Structure 1
Amino acid sequence: MYVHWIFLIYSVTLVCSKWTPERIVGGHSVSIEAVPWQASLLKNGIHDCGAVIYSEKIVLTAAHCVDSPDTFQVRVGSSISNFGGQVVNVLRIIKHEQFGRYYGISHDIAVIKLQTSLRMGCGVSSIPLANSYPRPGSLVSVSGWGRTRTYGKGSDFLLETTVAIVDQNACRNSYYGQITKEMICAAAPGKGVCNGDSGGPLVFNGTLVGIVSFGGICAHPYFPGVYANVAELRPWILRAIQRL
């Protein structure tokens, strides 16, 4: 899923009653072997959000993507969103306790424990958490199965694109002050995340720096994609994993 927002009287309001999926705009097809940490979060057997492999039994995603564990499975090791690879049931989910307190957009992260361990190997690999976030202008990659344009269709095949980290203050101005330290922003002309990419990985130098959270108009130059800031949320992530 991806969060689609409209702006009214300096507040952020959801376009739909539920958070909606985001997808890659301006991307290219990529093999799962190139981004082996990418996972698909299935809801009732159908791709709903992205996710990221942390270990054999732990994946990360956006908090707005998940509710009851019974409805979710995770697919890994496939470049196709609804076919192939390994499919594993979800055992338990922990959302960040502060998610939803700030217009529903801050602390948008969740940790998932799987019922059985993933078989790691070609196309299925974990990614380390970043200790710090990249400087503005740094090039980062994002991948997913989301829409390829606003109001367009999602991609059956995994797509990836390169965007650049946006200065925090500039991003805050774009979103009328609703950007907190728990978020990181990235954008590029004609490129970015869209509905269906939520929960997917933002990667810098082989480390996970962000989890796709929300945005305005897909790939719009004034509304960068917004991600959960993994470096800032790292202590919570590690504590949540210990609780699972």
Structure 2
Amino acid sequence: MFRTALVVLLVVALSGASPLVKPIQGSKPWRSRLDGRIVGGSAVSISQYPWQLYFTIGNYMCGASIISSTWALSAAHCVDGFSTSQMLLRAGTSTRGSGGTTHRIATGYIHGSYSGNDYDICVVQVSNAFSFNSNVQAVGLASSEPSAGTSVTVTGWGTTSYQGSASNTLLGVTVQIIDRNTCNRSYGSITSRMICAGVTSGGKDACQGDSGGPLVSGSTQVGIVSWGNECALANYPGVYANVANLRSWIQQASGV
């Protein structure tokens, strides 16, 4: 189940486009198969995580991150089935849906191999560039996967419990990278394009509405909120798109 109260997009590759890159276009009815989440966290300031974006798609919400003055990174399942005209990014604010600056989407791409949980990544290009300041900055992108036990932080405005209410204030929670083999014993379907993070006892996680948001180690993004079994359950860590593994695709699709 995905980490958002969002939906899936129908995507059709344009003639001559790379088979790894699909433009965002078309639409498809909403399907409730998603979980996002910040559970067990606390309020944080946008100045601490200035790459965090509030991403609305139709009537649904996700997270995203700034990776350059004109490009943002999110999850494929957040945008799959929507047109770019239905999307809006908000930067530079700790408050859900207000403050900061808004940015329409000019174009975007999801991974050509995206299928449900795997390759769950997209990039979108904004029509009006981000103006960098203390509350608006690009995040670094991981080139190597962090080792098991590394402390990482996930942020967003998602629900604070499974099927609960979204937060009006940006929240963050610190979890640890979970060994892929351990994570696979829980889910049985963890690929190299995924990275897992949580706490063994549960109680800390992302949740509905956090999908697409960044998992960071310091100021480097290592994951994108993707899916999991409900939110913050013991022995079921959050599953994230693995930025290091997908780094070359990001560069190919966006030039970043």
1:132 aligns with 2:133: no
Match of 2:106 among 88, 91, 101: 91
Aligned counterpart, 1:148? 160
Query: After superposition, what is the alpha-carbon deviation per residue over 1:94-140, rounded to whole angstroms, capped at 9, x for unaligned?
Result: 0000101xxx1000000000011011101100011101111111100
Alignment root-mean-square deviation, CA: 1.6
* Residue 82 of structure 1 pairs with residue 97 of structure 2: yes
| Matched-pair contact (CA < 8 Å) for 1:47–1:81 | no
Q: Give the CA deviation at 1:21.
A: 4.9
- Tell me the residue number matched to 1:10: none
Distance in 1, matches of 2:60 and 2:45, equals: 17
Residue 11 of structure 1 corresponds to none
Partner of 2:246 in structure 1? Answer: 233
Return the alpha-carbon distance in structure 1 between the equivalents of residues 132 and 60 of structure 2.
21
Q: Percent identity?
A: 43
Q: Distance in 2 between matches of 1:68 and 1:214?
A: 22
Q: What amino acid is aligned across from residue 76 of structure 1 in structure 2?
A: A
Distance in 2, matches of 1:33 and 1:181, equals 32
Query: What amino acid maps onto 1:56 in structure 2?
Result: S
Please tell me the residue identity of whatever aligns with 1:186.
A
> 1:156 and 1:29 mapped to 2: Cα distance?
10
For structure 2, the 5+ residue unaligned runs are 6-29
Match of 1:122 among 134, 139, 144: 134
Partner of 1:69: 84
The aligned residue for residue 181 of structure 1 is 192
Stretch moving more, 16-25 or 149-158: 16-25
Q: Secondary structure at the match of 1:208?
A: strand
Q: Matches of 2:177 and 2:219 in 1, distance apart?
A: 15
Distance in 1 (alpha carbons) for counterparts of 2:185 and 2:85: 39
Runs (4+) of structure 1 moved beyond 6 Å?
none
Q: In the alignment, what sits opposite 1:30?
A: 44
What is the one-letter code of the residue matched to 2:48? A
Letter in 1 for 2:152: V
What is the TM-score when the length of structure 2 is the normalising length? 0.85
Kept in 2, the 8 Å contact 1:139–1:163? The answer is yes
Q: Retained in 2: the 8 A contact 1:19–1:64?
A: no
2:217 is the counterpart of 1:216: no
C-alpha separation in 1, matches of 2:230 and 2:60: 22
**What's the offset of the Cα at 1:162?**
0.2
Q: Distance in 2 between matches of 1:3 and 1:89?
A: 20
Q: Secondary structure at the match of 1:209?
A: strand
CA distance in 2, matches of 1:190, 1:132: 28
Structure 1 residue 93, shift from structure 2 partner: 1.1
**Number of residue pairs matched?**
227
**Aligned partner of residue 85 in structure 2, secondary structure:** helix
Distance in 2 (alpha carbons) for counterparts of 1:42 and 1:17: 16
- In structure 2, relative to structure 1, the CA distance for the partners of 1:108 and 1:2 (3 Å cut) is same
How far the C-alpha of 1:43 sits from its partner, in A, is 2.1
Contact 2:4-2:37 within 8 A present in 1 as well:
no
Q: Which amino acid counterpart does residue 102 of structure 2 have in structure 1? A: V
Query: Once the two structures are superposed, what CA deviation does each residue of 1:170-190 show, in whole Å capped at 9, x if it has no partner?
Result: 111111x21100000000231
Pairing of 1:50-69 with structure 2 (within 5 A): 50-66=63-79, 67-69=82-84
- Could you tell me whether the CA contact under 8 Å between 1:2 and 1:195 is conserved in 2? yes
